[in-house]
Structure 1
Amino acid sequence: MEAFNLADDPHRRYNPLTGEWVLVSPHRAKRPWQGQEEEVCEDNRLEYDPACYLCPTNVRANGAQNPDYKSTFVFQNDFGALKADTPEGSYALGGLLRAESERGISKVICFSPRHDLTLADMDVADIRKVVDVWQAEYEELGKLDYINYVQIFENKGAIMGCSNPHPHGQIWAQSSIPNEPAKETVHQESYFSQHNSSLLSDYLTLEAKENKRIVFENDHFAVIVPFWAVWPFETIIISKRHYQHIGQMTSDEKHGFAATIKKVTAIYDKIFNTSFPYSAGIHQQPTDGKEYPGWHFHMHFFPPLLRSASVKKFMVGYEMLGSPQRDITPETSADRLKSLLQ
């Protein structure tokens, strides 16, 4: 029997942040790249759209009028998933049916007044202003006594459920810690208690030695296709310095973070010559007042496109019933992304 080979043989990969596994089937994608070429519809959006409820001076669905903003603009989501005035309460029946009330705040952040831009198109200086807003909102919301987690995220593209193409993201701040950061909290804190070092710091060291999945890096951040990636071109931005949340970023780190976001989103747009859709979000320590020495600041990018501008990876069948699965290895995806660097 031949020796096991990560590049050829079916195997499972472990995600140390969540404790979960992904099935990798590289033998189903023998060629380095199986992308198809196709005509991409041009996006001819206007710089200002009078019908857009996020553009400056326009009226939103609830009747509020946007200011004539020139940079970023933050407001409470008119149709937020969370409400600050949710009454406290719970429901329980038979030990199996349980529900608990959830208080929170939902906000929208317009990244730019220009309707026709994305983060990939914006200047680093303007993305830095977005990072400044993220930092301020995390600190402000995190101080509220009923807010225990602040989730900053962006859905880009209609394929990801984004209802408006104007460049914007969201913040959902809530009284409980959501599932994914809760899992990451458990595993990072456990690792730190055993090794007295952060899980992602040690992971960065391993990735630097192997040099197979690092897409690019600067003085403050590294962009990696994680060893355990589920999505075809999934990446993770990891801070080189170990700190817990965006409020601890220095001015230089904020600039480096903005430059990193600019570069990774620009690379995505080159893969299939289209404005690449994704869901992306920052993971950082909860704001419940507890100490989390193991937490390490990072940002996930989960882009769905698989073979072309219109062919998406779906979670179906085995993946819904068993575990996530991928054919193209993270190493192959990393090589593809690196080849698009300027």
Structure 2
Amino acid sequence: MAELRYNPLLKDWTMVAASRQNRPHMPKDFCPFCPGSGKVPENYDVHLYHNDFPVLSPNPPQPDAVGGSLYQTKEAYGKCEVVLYSPGHYDTIPDLSREHMKKLMDLWEETFVKLEQDPNHEYVMIFENRGEEVGVTMPHPHGQVYAYPFIPLKVKTELNACKEYTEENKRNMFDDMIAEEKRFGERVVLETEHFIAFIPFFTDYPYGVYVVSKDKKTAITEFSEDEKLELGDLLQELVGGMDMIYDKLFPYMMVMHQRPSDGKDDYNDFYRFHIEFYPPLRASDKIKYNSSSETGGWAAANPTKVEDNAENLRKCIERYHEKRGK
């Protein structure tokens, strides 16, 4: 069973895919993403792999006859792709060469372009789940790209807030956010010519870093080759620094927030390409679980001080530089 069910309370869709319960944990002696498995090319640097257990598909089944009245269902149309970062079973983002990281950036862009060409795909999301703490069952380094037949609620909320802010203030919210973070300074962890990384004033995750484009660009397709190299370098430094926080692989959820794929050309006026990290650890051996008020009321709560975390992450990034010989 795979279908979309409408939530009238939130004006949003829930994806239902019972088959995903059958997703396997990777056997200790076999990895389908490693060369020699018969599932991937014998030689690759980065590779696009079609998800074996997609929640969205280009040929979805008809929804079950369980809806009625205000309860709507529709086909779970879309696409779910897996992006393999490397043939190396343990090569995560900081382990890649600069040239290899550029190939990953290019594959992300190519996949985004391909998926948004389908008029039924309203939003294309590039993301990564890293670590068992966030439910990863296949540890070979990979990310995913989903093409949705709707705009996810969090992104829609951001878009509406940014548009309202621009209409009221005649300025882009992200420009003002960057200006304030740079003025205060203590939450900024990395900055390059075209990008800035900081742990926002308002984040609900202890190390919930945002990476924001300084320029009026809203999708990965708008970056030059040099800008993609620059963004790849920044991500490697950032994740490499995160791994130094507790001296172990740092778990996180990472999501690129980009414009919708509806063909409108005004998003650059009020929105901005940015990447959000949601790392679940609040200590080396403690996970930040959502409380009832956080889940039931979306009343975010951060158990740590952002400014202290930013200072620690800056120091860890410096340690990563020294380790990598920069």
Q: Which residue of 1 aligns with 2:98?
A: 124
Q: Which residue of 1 aligns with 2:292?
A: 317
Deviations 1:66-88 (A, max 9, x none): 11133100021111110111267
| Separation in 1, partners of 2:164, 2:74 | 28
Q: Which residue of 2 aligns with 1:307?
A: 283
Greater RCO (Cα-Cα under 8 Å, separation 6 or more) = 1
Q: Which residue of 1 aligns with 2:235?
A: 261
Q: Which residue of 2 aligns with 1:189?
A: 163
| Separation in 1, partners of 2:289, 2:59 | 37
| Separation in 1, partners of 2:271, 2:111 | 19
Q: Which residue of 1 aligns with 2:324?
A: none
1:144 and 2:123 matched: no
Q: CA deviation at 1:320?
A: 2.6
Determine if contact 1:267/1:340 at 8 Å carries over to the other structure.
yes
Determine if contact 1:150/1:287 at 8 Å carries over to the other structure.
yes
Deviations 1:59-106 (A, max 9, x none): 3xxxxx3111331000211111101112677975343x2333331000
Determine if contact 1:235/1:301 at 8 Å carries over to the other structure.
yes
**Structure 1 residue ranges without an equivalent (≥5):** 1-48, 60-64
| Separation in 2, partners of 1:182, 1:99 | 20
Q: CA deviation at 1:50?
A: 5.8
Q: Which residue of 1 aligns with 2:13?
A: none
Q: CA deviation at 1:319?
A: 2.4
Deviations 1:288-338 (A, max 9, x none): 122323220000111111111x21111023323341212312111111111
Between structures 1 and 2, the one with greater helix share:
2
- Which letter does structure 1 place at the counterpart of 2:97? D
Q: 5 Å matches for 1:176-215? A: 176-215=150-189
Q: Secondary structure of 1:335's match?
A: helix
1:77 and 2:40 matched: no
Q: Secondary structure of 1:202's match?
A: helix
| Separation in 2, partners of 1:88, 1:78 | 19
Determine if contact 1:102/1:176 at 8 Å carries over to the other structure.
no
Determine if contact 2:55/2:76 at 8 Å carries over to the other structure.
no
Q: Secondary structure of 2:83's match?
A: strand
Q: Which residue of 2 aligns with 1:7?
A: none
Q: CA deviation at 1:197?
A: 3.0
Q: 5 Å matches for 1:1-342? A: 51-59=30-38, 65-86=39-60, 92-95=67-70, 97-291=71-265, 292=267, 293-308=269-284, 310-322=285-297, 323-342=299-318
The 1:203/1:315 distance shift into structure 2, 3 A limit, reads same
Deviations 1:7-27 (A, max 9, x none): xxxxxxxxxxxxxxxxxxxxx
Structure 1 vs Structure 2 CA RMSD: 1.8
**Structure 2 residue ranges without an equivalent (≥5):** 1-27, 319-326
| Separation in 2, partners of 1:255, 1:92 | 48
Q: Secondary structure of 2:93's match?
A: coil
Q: CA deviation at 1:266?
A: 0.5
- Which letter does structure 2 place at the counterpart of 1:52? C
Determine if contact 2:242/2:317 at 8 Å carries over to the other structure.
no
Deviations 1:146-166 (A, max 9, x none): 111001000001111111111
| Separation in 2, partners of 1:217, 1:332 | 18
- Which letter does structure 1 place at the counterpart of 2:72? R
Identity %: 28
Determine if contact 2:78/2:121 at 8 Å carries over to the other structure.
yes
The 1:86/1:72 distance shift into structure 2, 3 A limit, reads same
